[in-house]
Amino acid sequence: MDDPTPHDHPLRPRVVLTFPGQGAQHARMAAGLYGVSKSFTSTMDHAFDAFGPTGRTLREGWLAATPPPAFDDISYAQPLLYSVNCAMGTMLTEAGLRPDVLLGHSVGELAAATLAGVFSFDCGLRYLSEYIGIYRHAPRGGMLAVAASPREIEAHLVPGVVIGAVNAPRQVLLSAAEEALANVEAALRRAGITCARARALQPFHHPVMRDIATAHADSLTRPPLHPPHTTLYSAYTGQELHDETATDWQFWTGQPAEPVLFGPTLEYLLSTGPHLVVEAGPGQSLTALVRRTPAVARGDAAALALLPARASEPDADIEAVRAALKQLATLGRDPLSPDF
């Protein structure tokens, strides 16, 4: 594995932990850590217990060699992504890693906020459980990954279709209910624009979600919020999340209706100095985005994924984490002592 350390800088790079969102889920994501890492296992079991009877279904679907048909639905993907992200982040911090910055994508931002101390894991699980109940009322739809810039895509935005995420200069996600999404997909293909369905069955980051949240606002509890104890960047504001925003529940409950600006946020963060961006969640989708940034091309930043791109051999997850921790140790930080 290549040395990921940014070069030509006298300063030690800041370590950024990133957490992926909807679309990154896959069969047995990070399951190789379950039953091996005490911290990871404890966090996952805590989540399954917190979800009550649904927790057993979630665990079975997560560990199955072939995921259930509804695996990409909000009822599976969102709680599993949040739990796996938090479990991996907790495993790293308990091993002695002290990240300088936390940044998440979509539901990954909830995990980043949890690890930054904005709300507890239990509060996050309760909120997510209520969130799932509310957004089941969303129209069936999804998101479409398009290889084009926001400006290039504007001409194709028919009523009902919005840009739900900007992940890179020429990588956007469109969001819409199913009929409108199918129509815009067909039109883009006719125009010769590369596109593919993202793994989502609801129109996340679409204004329709705001209407649903307003109609069911009484269903959401408001647990206490705290200022982040670690620098937390938001892909909704495009910058560091200030205390007054982090402690405003309207900011968190409004996220499903707002576009994710992960690409611009990432580029802004990386412009502030040398960084090593570590993807602490399933897959390597965010790592791929980091590696295409100007900062990496200049040698000002580097990316490191903790896990393989997809489920592989039983020991692949542990081997990948061990290799990543060895590389992190080369940065001169405190020795890392994983629990496996």
Q: What is the pLDDT of residues 86-124, one digit of tens each?
A: 999 999 999 999 999 999 999 999 999 999 999 999 999
Q: What phi, psi does 13 have (nearest 5°)?
A: -65, 145
The answer to whether 240 and 268 are in contact (CB under 8 A) is: no
Report the alpha-carbon distance of residue 22 to residue 220 in Å, rounded: 21
Distance between CA atoms of 33 and 88, rounded to whole angstroms?
9
The amino acid at residue 60 is E
Q: Which has the closest alpha carbon to 202: 24, 55, 22?
A: 22
Residue bearing the bigger pLDDT, 9 or 264: 264
Q: What is the pLDDT of residues 219-257, one digit of tens each?
A: 788 889 999 999 999 999 999 999 999 999 999 999 999
Question: Domains in the chain and their CATH numbers?
Answer: 14-138+206-331 (3.40.366.10), 141-197 (3.30.70.250)
What is the rounded average pLDDT for all residues in the chain? Answer: 93
* Angle at CA of residue 68, ends 65 and 70, nearest 5°: 145
| pLDDT value of position 334 | 64
**Residue-wise pLDDT tens digits, 46-59:** 999 999 999 999 99
- What is the average per-residue pLDDT within 206-222? 87
CB distance 24 to 90 below 8 Å: no
Is the pLDDT at 3 greater than 70, yes or no?
no
Q: What is the DSSP string of 300-320?
A: SEEEEESS-SS--STTHHHHH
Give the pLDDT of residue 198.
97
Amino acid at 6: P
Provide the pLDDT confidence category of residue 43 given band limits of 50, 70 and 90.
very high
SS3 assignment, position 90? helix
pTM: 0.95
Give the bridge partners for 220, in sequence order.
Answer: none
